[in-house]
Every structure is written in structure tokens, then in C-alpha cells.
Amino acid sequence: MIIRPATAEDHNAIWAIIEPTLRAGETYTLPRDWDREAALTYWFAPPHKVFVAEQEGTVLGHYFLTPNRLGGGAHVANCGFMTDPAATGRGVARAMCTHALDTARAEGYRAMQFNSVISTNTRAVALWQSFGFDIMARLPEAFLHPTLGYVDILLMYRKL
């Protein structure tokens, strides 16, 4: 598996992963009805740096790296990760997180923060914790899950 900067040629593969993730509405605080243009505009919005994880020419996942805040908070990175459901359990998210942490360090970030980890996304929570992320806050019932109703959002953080 290689992880490389995304290009315009990756848009179709990225959309093929974003669309079912948005439609499911279970893991992102983004509109479920976004179309391709709206979703890709958000994902590639500056200052997002977008990367894809690919194997044998197939994009298995993608993520963006960006400052969590501007100004005095710009030393803390933020990321958004998505993996093709068909590639779940194959180490794609783990590889992307390793790459994101290494890239963030190389770019001078001092920490990484995930603002909205949905508490019911237990695979992601466990993965981020395995990388040393701590749950810094729990926002009770801050996310409306399409089948479970109101569930908590976790704010996760780690120093680099």
C-alpha cells in the first residue's frame, strides 16, 4: 500500500468512498444529501491537504490533513479519514493515521485533534486510542445517528 497526495484524477475514487459514507450518516457530521461537487469541494477546501491510500492502483481510503484552527491554534492538526467499506479490516486506516501523524510532525504541528469522533464508531475510537489519542471531552447526544438516535461525540487529542 502506498499513500500519496491526491490529484484531480482521484476525484472519482474519492467520491466513491465519500458518497456511501455520507448517505449512511453514521460517522460524519456532514450533510447526508451532499452531491459530488459539494462533498469534493469540502474535502479539498484549502488548507486541506488530501492523501489517498492505494494498492495496485485501487484507492482504498483517503484523508485530509489541515490545521484544526487558524491563528494561535494552527499548531494543532486535524484530519478526516474515510476507508472503502470493502477494505475495512485491512489496515488502511492504521496506515493512513501513521502517515498523517508523520506528515503532521514533519510540517511542524505539535498535536493532533479529532473534533467529532462519533462514540458509536467503536472501531475508529479503538484505533485512535491505540495511537495514543485520549478522549478529552464527551459531548452528550451531540450527534443524531440515523438508527440509534442521539449519541455522544468525542473530542480526541494527542501531542506529537
**Per-residue pLDDT tens over the stretch 80-114:** 999 999 998 899 999 999 999 999 999 999 999 99
Tell me the pTM. Answer: 0.95
pLDDT at 114: 98
Residue 102 in any domain: the answer is yes
The DSSP bridge partners found for residue 22 are none
Domain presence at residue 91: yes
Q: Does residue 26 form part of some domain?
A: yes
The verdict on residue 155 lying in a domain is no
Supply the pLDDT for residue 157: 98
Q: How many domains does the chain have?
A: 1
159 inside domain? no
Task: Residue 74: give the domain boundaries.
Answer: 2-113
pLDDT digits 0-9 by tens, 119-150? 999 999 999 999 999 999 999 999 999 999 99
Helix (H) or strand (E) holding 13: helix 11-24
Assess if residue 47 is contained within a domain.
yes
At 44-60, the pLDDT tens digits run 999 999 999 999 999 99
Please name the residue that has the C-alpha cell 501513521.
98
> What is the distance between the alpha carbons of residues 126 and 25, in angstroms, rounded to a whole number?
20
Task: Say how far residue 155 (Cα) sits from the centre of its chain.
Answer: 13
CA 146 to CA 139: how far, in whole Å? 18
Which CATH number belongs to the domain containing residue 36 in this structure?
A: 3.40.630.30
Q: Give 153's pLDDT tier (boundaries 50, 70, 90).
A: very high
When pLDDT is cut at 50, 70 and 90, the band that residue 155 belongs to is: very high
Residue 7 pLDDT grade (very low, low, confident, very high; cuts 50, 70, 90): very high
- Helix segments in 25-142, DSSP class H: 36-43, 92-106, 122-130
Helix (H) / strand (E) element for 159: namely: strand 149-159
- Residue 119 pLDDT: 98
Report the candidate in 127, 114, 124, 119 with the shortest Cα–Cα distance to residue 145: 119
- Record the cell numbers describing residue 141, joined without a space: 447526544
Mean pLDDT of 15-31: 96
Q: Grid coordinates 455522544 are at which residue?
A: 152
